[in-house]
Amino acid sequence: MDLPVIETPVFPRWVWIEEITYSHIPIATIITAFMLLAPLFEYIGMRRGDLRWERLSKSFIWFSLILFSPGAALGTGIPMFIMGTYPEFWSRWANLFFWPLIAQFMFFLAEVFFLFFMYYLTWDRWANRKRLHISMGICAAACGYLVQVVWDSLGSYMLTPGGVPLPEVDQPVAWSLAAMLNPSFPFLLAHRTFGNFSYVLLLTGGVFALRYMSQKRKNPSSENTSYFRWASSTCFTIGFFCFFPMPIIGWFYARVIQREAPAAFMALMGGHTSFHFIFKMSLIVVFLVIGGMFVVKRWGRKAIAWATTAGLLIVLTVIYVHPPLMWIGRSALAWRLVSTAVILGLIGWIWICRRKDNTDHRGWQWAMFVAGLAAFFTFTLGGFVRERSKSPDTVYGEIVKPELTDQEADRYLVYTKWLKPRKEIPADLDRNRPEDWRHEVQQARRDGLELTEEEAERIIGYLEAHHR
């Protein structure tokens, strides 16, 4: 069905949708992470009789309520914008997920009710009924997390439909369990859950570190100074260790993408998304180095050093079992040797610097803030890389974006018709570059590679233009 597409002023429509989406998602994830952590921290404070945990918990909820209005406003704007600029996608996608979208709206209403009326407003009133109060926080957190569950399910379908076709505009399916439980859904949900905890707490620890620095300058012996010192190091340390399950989950996630969306996987492995993926990996190195050194110096315990070592060895293991990333030299061996040297060097440096040290000076506070920012941008780049990897498709293998260009179409053809049958990745196009692409493609056709004459000419043209 031919639906009208509204053109956007100044910037292409994909720039506008990225801006609106990536303004909303960090707000929503911060709220969700704080809501999940608040009742847990409040419970820890109750069990230990430590009021610092309760203060930290209440500050999470107070800040979440501040973020609710801009988050909800941006969330409302996203579907409005998509309806006008991507009308066919929205009509077909909403046909498939109508009832899940209604369900997440009900979860959102319940989240607001429990969070504001039953958790925040009753904080002092139920001071002597802590278990009841914490249970209301758990209800609010559960409703907020169910909103994330729905959106992660619907978002993962866009990359790995799992054989469930996108219905036509005039085919109201209402909902599909198979589409919701698509192949990458559990891995995206788990990855984003730990990612939310990690980046939110690292960033929170960095912000609290600056607050501690400010309080220390004004009144070094005040209660606030002591609190912000504890809160910054506690949040930062928990966020640092929440990162380490992510490489394991990410490895399984990558395997699913490789199987279900091979063109998207190729985009990461030296393709059009590889630069952003490299930058994301570089940011991870930044907060791993700063975080690893901070936690062992701050706490000075052998258990912390061993836990950090185990986490870094997990990262190294994933590097070895994951397909090699040809970013260093032209061989898998070079990538693995350099990665091994960097991680083992970091482990050795951590053990050399293991003794407890003074982390209260300004340099460490700024370093924590930088690490928190690196974690934040790692998170935002993760979503950008995932969405960009399936370009030019809006839903992988089901519908292309309206602004599809000839170059994007030819690149997709190279991924699916040239690289995939030959079991190669985009990095191989430069590593094993022949003298004459036309001869190479025609020879592959004679050897049995199935390509029409038109497909062969388009592939030759793209390879000659971009991989000479």
Confidence at 343, pLDDT banded by 50, 70, 90:
confident
Give the per-residue pLDDT at 324: 62
The residue among 82 and 35 whose pLDDT is bigger is 35
**Residue-level length of the chain:** 468
> Environment class of residue 450 by beta-carbon count within 10 Å: exposed (0-12), middle (13-18) or buried (19+)?
exposed
Give the per-residue pLDDT at 27: 93
Give the per-residue pLDDT at 78: 87
d(CA 392, CA 181): 24
Residue appearing with tokens 């929205």: 90
- For residue 2, is pLDDT > 80? no
Average pLDDT over residues 103-131: 95
Confidence at 345, pLDDT banded by 50, 70, 90:
confident
- For residue 346, is pLDDT > 80? yes
Residue 87 preceded by cis peptide, ω within 30: no
- For residue 328, is pLDDT > 80? no
Give the per-residue pLDDT at 187: 96
400 beta partners = 393
- For residue 95, is pLDDT > 60? yes
Give the per-residue pLDDT at 387: 87
Confidence at 143, pLDDT banded by 50, 70, 90:
very high
Give the per-residue pLDDT at 367: 94
Enter the tokens of residue 182.
């698509």
Which pLDDT tens digit goes with each residue over 152-182?
999 999 999 999 999 988 888 888 999 999 9
The residue among 277 and 65 whose pLDDT is bigger is 65
The phi and psi torsions of 324 (rounded to 5 degrees) equal -60, 140
Average pLDDT over residues 403-407: 87
Which of 113-117, 176-180, 253-257, 315-319 comes out lowest in average pLDDT? 315-319
The residue among 341 and 210 whose pLDDT is bigger is 210
Give the per-residue pLDDT at 329: 53
Nearest CA to 204 out of 230, 169, 180, 170 is that of 230
Confidence at 317, pLDDT banded by 50, 70, 90:
confident
Give the per-residue pLDDT at 31: 96
Which pLDDT tens digit goes with each residue over 22-32?
888 899 999 99
Q: Can you give the pTM of this predicted structure?
A: 0.91
Give the per-residue pLDDT at 327: 55
Give the per-residue pLDDT at 331: 63
Which pLDDT tens digit goes with each residue over 291-313?
988 998 888 788 888 888 998 89
Give the per-residue pLDDT at 12: 83
The residue among 377 and 427 whose pLDDT is bigger is 377
Residue appearing with tokens 């969330």: 75
Give the per-residue pLDDT at 122: 96
The residue among 329 and 349 whose pLDDT is bigger is 349
Give the per-residue pLDDT at 332: 67
* Average pLDDT over all residues of the chain: 90
Give the per-residue pLDDT at 330: 55
Give the per-residue pLDDT at 326: 55
Which of 239-243, 346-350, 361-365, 390-394 comes out lowest in average pLDDT? 346-350
Amino acid identity of residue 193, one-letter, is T
- For residue 318, is pLDDT > 70? yes
- For residue 375, is pLDDT > 90? yes
Average pLDDT over residues 333-337: 74
Enter the tokens of residue 320.
């070895």
Which pLDDT tens digit goes with each residue over 196-243?
999 999 999 999 999 999 999 989 889 999 999 999 999 999 999 999
d(CA 28, CA 78): 13
**Cβ(244)–Cβ(233) under 8 Å?**
no
Q: Provide long-range contacts, Cβ within 8 A and 24+ apart, for 455-463.
A: 455/413, 455/417, 458/409, 458/410, 458/413, 459/410, 459/413, 459/414, 459/417, 459/418, 461/410, 462/407, 462/410, 462/411, 462/413, 462/414, 463/414, 463/418, 463/429, 463/437
- For residue 102, is pLDDT > 60? yes
